Structure 1
Amino acid sequence: MISAVLFDLDETLLDRTTSLVAFLGDQHSRFAAGLGSGSFETWRDRFLEFDARGRVPKAVVYRSLLAEFHGDASLAETLLSDYRTRCSRFARPCDGMASTLMLLRAKGLRLGVVTNGETEFQARHVEALGLDSLVDAVLVSQTEGFRKPDAALFRLAAGRLGVELANCLFVGDNPVADILGADAAGMATAWFRCGQEWPPALPPTPGFVIDRLSDLLELTNQDPGPKKLSPRRATWP
């Protein structure tokens, strides 16, 4: 039986897109004079495109934006610093985050967060969401020295919670870093698809597919025993 549930942070517990858009509105209003031509809506949309769901470094994103909109190039470092220090003030949880975590804990499950990123930046978001009091462990790649999909980070997480890999369910939105990474490490998986399609170039998703965090309340009753790892390609519920 599943005895622990591990979560990615961005777009799994943190509604990253909603949070980021709220921050960008604030940032644009404060720095508009140096950001160049175009409306906020155009600037916001291009930021999200350049950002590619967090896969592109923000230093690159800001330089690209300022160049495209003919803004003040010297603002790039200021905007980046502002992002790092203020973005967490706009952190919003994914629907049902707190209630789902509390109910999973009430079932006796150990809970953890495993996220790639900079320690200080991610710690601010963990604090803003109140996750320190809702989970048993938080692992950030910069602190631990490994990044998902490295199996070493998943092994560290299971060890931190004192459970076997085969008894862990990993929940995340990133097909490669979260789902294929956790599966390769020996964990059960639940892909939180967030409106995405599974990339056709990848092998089929090896675990469950969920659209709501609350789906986990019944999903954690499933037995992810080792012999069941490969044929679990079912959408839940």
Structure 2
Amino acid sequence: MTIKAVLFDLDGTLLDRDSSLLAFVNDQYDRMPAFQAVEKEQFVQRFIELDNHGYVWKDKVYQQLIEEFEIADVDWADCLHDYVSSFQQHCIGFANLQSMLAKLKEHDIKIALISNGFGQFQYDNFKALNIEHLFDEVLISEWEGLRKPDPAIFHRALTKLGVTAEDALFVGDHPDNDIRASREVGMRAVWKRSAPYESVEHANAVIDDLEELITIVLP
């Protein structure tokens, strides 16, 4: 069966969020003297733990950090504002991201993004990867009023692309939001192996490198 469209998750799939967050936190620590009352390695490690791979929003993370380390002369809201406005400067894509997408476009494969998260924040991070020109559609949960794993957001993307679920493939890192959900609407699903998940059910294929997707889509 020919694949006419490939739809992607963002964080943990195209965006190397763990590396991006590490780069951001190190930079923010260096820029904010109040944080430097805490040893840098300890501060960064605790931030990463509290972030929980992006599933805890940063208002909670900053409030917890300030309380735990008894950091004075800093407001969590100012820290959050800095995160929202500056994170995009540290976005790192996974290896072979650009070449993989370009190869798909060379073969007239339609490409879309479906990402959960805050609209402008996620879109800015997406744009920072310099891949926007390769995408036919971009759906972000806040702007759509829908979130994965709701099947409606997958159906909306497919309708925008003008393809059926049977002709589309979804690539993501989350076992439920990406793999199970896309399979349940009739799409094939590829799991981009990602921590903290050791394995997933229902995936049609598993990849460690984005380049591996080419042989799946264009056998």
Q: TM-score, normalised by structure 2?
A: 0.94
The code of the aligned residue for 1:193 comes to: R
Equivalent in the alignment of 2:153: 153
What residue is the counterpart of 1:229 in the other structure? Answer: none
Q: Deviations over 1:139-196 (max 9, x none)?
A: 1000001001110011111111111011111001111111111111211000001355
Residues 98, 134 of structure 1: 8 Å contact kept: no
> Does residue 14 of structure 2 align to residue 17 of structure 1?
no
1:73 Cα deviation (Å)? Answer: 7.5
Following the alignment from structure 2 to structure 1, what is the Cα–Cα distance between the partners of residues 140 and 33? 33
SS class of match (1:29): helix
Measured against aligned partners, the alpha-carbon deviations of 1:2-22 in whole angstroms (never above 9, x if no partner) come to 110001011111111111111
Residue number in structure 2 paired with 1:211 = 208
Q: Is the 8 A contact 1:4 1:168 kept in 2?
A: yes
The farther-off stretch of 43-52 and 72-81 is 72-81
Contact 2:30–2:36 (CA<8 Å) still a contact in 1?
A: no
Q: Which ranges of 4 or more aligned residues in structure 1 deviate by more than 6 Å?
A: none
Who is 2:54 aligned against?
A: 54
- Give the structure-1-normalised TM-score: 0.87
**Is 2:121 aligned against 1:124?**
no
> 1:206, CA displacement in angstroms?
3.3
**Letter aligned with residue 217 of structure 1:** I
Q: Distance in 2 between matches of 1:127 and 1:169?
A: 22
CA distance in 1: counterparts of 2:176 and 2:206, whole angstroms: 14
Letter in 1 for 2:116: N
After TM superposition, the structure 1 = structure 2 runs for residues 162-177 of structure 1, keeping only pairs within 5 Å, are 162-177=162-177
Tell me the secondary structure at the aligned position of residue 52 of structure 1.
Answer: helix
SS in 1 for 2:89: helix
Residue 49 of structure 1, CA deviation: 0.9
Q: For the Cα contact (< 8 Å) 1:36–1:69, is it kept in 2?
A: no
> Secondary structure of 1:94's partner?
coil
Any idea what SS the aligned residue of 2:10 has?
coil
Name stretches of at least 5 consecutive residues in structure 2 with no aligned partner: none
Residue 45 of structure 2 corresponds to 45
Per-residue deviation, 1:198: 3.6
Residue pair 2:191, 2:203 contacting (<8 A) in 1 also:
no
Whether the 8 Å contact between 1:198 and 1:205 is mirrored in structure 2 is no
Count of residues paired in the alignment: 218
Alignment gaps of 5+ in structure 1: 223-237
Partner of 1:231: none
> Once superposed, what is the RMSD of the aligned Cα atoms?
1.6
1:40-89: per-residue Cα shift (whole Å, max 9, x none)? 11111111111111111111111111111111385100000000001001
Question: Are the equivalent residues in 1 in contact too, given 2:141–2:148 (CA < 8 A)?
Answer: yes
Distance in 1, Cα, partners of 2:210 & 2:36 = 40
SS state at 1:104 partner: helix
Deviations 1:114-161 (A, max 9, x none): 100111101111211112211111110000010011100111111111
